[in-house]
Each structure stands twice: as C-alpha cells, then as structure tokens.
Structure 1
Amino acid sequence: MSSNPASVETTHWFENESTSADPTNPPQYVLIATRSVDPDQSLTVSLIETIVDTLKPPDGQTSLSLYQHVNPDALEEIIEASTTKESGVEVRFTIENYLVTVRSNDTVLIYEPLGPHRSSSRNPIRN
C-alpha cells in the first residue's frame, strides 16, 4: 500500500529587484497558521492577536507595532472595499522574515521562510 506525503502549502514573496537579495531565487515560505478574523473585533485587533498567538513571544510580552510593517487603517479600508465590491483581495507584508497575508474573505495566513532565507532564532516580537 502506498501513502501520499502530507501536502504543505508554500508560497513566494513577490519582491522587486531592489528589495530582494537574489531576484532569481525569491524566498519561499511554508504556511504555519491560518485564522479567520473574529467578526466581533476589528481586523487590526484580530491580525495582531493572530501574529502574537502564532509567533508566541516570551512571557506574553510584545513590542509589536503593526505600523512598522503595514498601515492598519489602509489595510482595513482595502479589505472592507473589496468585501463591498465582492472582489477578492490579498495583501501581503513581512514582519521580520515571516510573511503575513490578509485576504478579503476574512482570513489571515502566516508563513515561515524555508531554506537559506530562514533567519536565525530572532523573534520579531520580542522586547
């Protein structure tokens, strides 16, 4: 009896040549978390909770400032406009080496880098 290996979702970060260390070999990421946005919370609060829950800062402490990585107000406006117009939108940004994807279907995905693009043990939300 043959068994199929577990399927792992991977993606690439779409960097331009000026931001990529090696534009011919973009970093590849593996999905480590998928969460739905809590309808009783703002997108920003749900996004921060998802990031903190996934990256697990020591002692629950965080110095994460979302504004250093993305404009949360603009992100919410894009997602809300997309939902109103019934069009699919996906916004991607990085926090340190992690790729964060926010989709207009109220889904947040977090990817971890694979291979040589993986960082050291540095946690992006430690004090």
Structure 2
Amino acid sequence: MNTYRLLLAGLAALALSATACTAETTVDSAPPATTVPPGGGSTSTGFYQIVWTVDGTKNPNACAAFGADELELTIYENGVQKQPVVAPCGNFNLQVELYPGVYDADARLVTFDGFAASPVLPLDQLVITSGTTLTSDVDF
C-alpha cells in the first residue's frame, strides 16, 4: 500500500512539474466599471487585473481537474511582499487597486487548504499608472 501511495505522489509531482504556464500583459486606458472597488476608485490609483485560463479554457471543471480552489496573487512592492489576494478559481478574473509604481507579483492556483495546485507564475515589472488598468492574461 505504501508503494502505491509513493507512486501516486510521484505521478502527481511529475504532472505538476510538467504543467506549462504562460503570461501576456496589456494596458487599458480605464478600468471596467464593474470592477471598481466599493467606495469607488481614485484618480490617483490604477488597477492590476489578472485574467486566467486553466489548460486553455475558462471551464470551472478544469479548476476541479487541477484540484484548484482559488487563484492566489502575491504582490511585491520594492521587494516587500504584500498580503496575498485570492479569488475563486472559477472566476477567471481578479482585479486589485494599487498606487502608481512598479510591482512584481506571483500567481498560482491553490487547493482549498492553501497548497499549490500549479507552479508559481512570476509576473515582473508591472507598471501601474493612475487611471489605467494593466491586465495580464495567463494560462495554467
């Protein structure tokens, strides 16, 4: 029985390491009205939005197949880690309001108990400008 569990763990690790992640980033001149945080946005802030697919699709069943419950986005400002932000995997979209500046971020899919369901996808040199939305399209 222990050999069987080790074999399953090894296959799961191999599948996770073979997963390819890709990213593409674009800038939009204004944030979508439906994603402005409660209380409204500010002209002195901008937005970072991550839009993701799982295995090339926005089907929630793909999240379940990965064992993914949420997308976890960790933002770094000047190398200092900020509090991670999460969204349900099946949302396929997360937007955060940030002050203008250059940020780095790590995105990954996580299980319901916070364990990695995908490799970490680094998103570097995210330039946030007042009144705009920077969008990264990624695939896990």
Give the greater-gyration-radius structure (CA): 2
Higher-RCO chain (CA-CA 8 Å, sequence separation at least 6): 2
Identify the structure with the greater helix proportion.
Answer: 1
Identify the structure with the greater strand proportion.
Answer: 2
TM-score normalised to the size of structure 2? Answer: 0.25
